[in-house]
Amino acid sequence: MKARVIVTLKTGVLDPQGQAIEGSLEGLGFSGVQSVRQGKVFDLELSATDPVSAKTEIERMCEKLLANTVIENYAVEIIG
């Protein structure tokens, strides 16, 4: 079973990396970029076959390792 986890910074948390990218895009001539926020993606392959229990398991992985839940949100999507 495949799953995708998307980890993004919570609203209000400063994102200097995103700001640097925003500045670089402007420098390259891309106008009209109002904000850039960078996050992480994890593409997982699991041996589990039940999507419900797989999702619960992945949420536990996020809480323990994949995301810093103080400053980050995560979203789990089972791809199939």
Among positions 10, 13, 38, 69, the unique one binding a second copy when judged by CB under 8 A: 38
Among positions 12, 14, 16, 43, the unique one binding a second copy when judged by CB under 8 A: 43
Q: Does 36 bind a second copy (CB under 8 A)?
A: yes
Q: In angstroms, rounded to a whole number, what is the distance separating the alpha carbons of residues 1 and 55?
A: 10
Q: In angstroms, rounded to a whole number, what is the distance separating the alpha carbons of residues 57 and 1?
A: 12
Task: Specify the residue for token string 């799953």.
Answer: 3
Site for a second copy, rule CB under 8 A: 6-8, 18, 21, 24-25, 28, 30, 32-48, 57, 60-61, 64-66
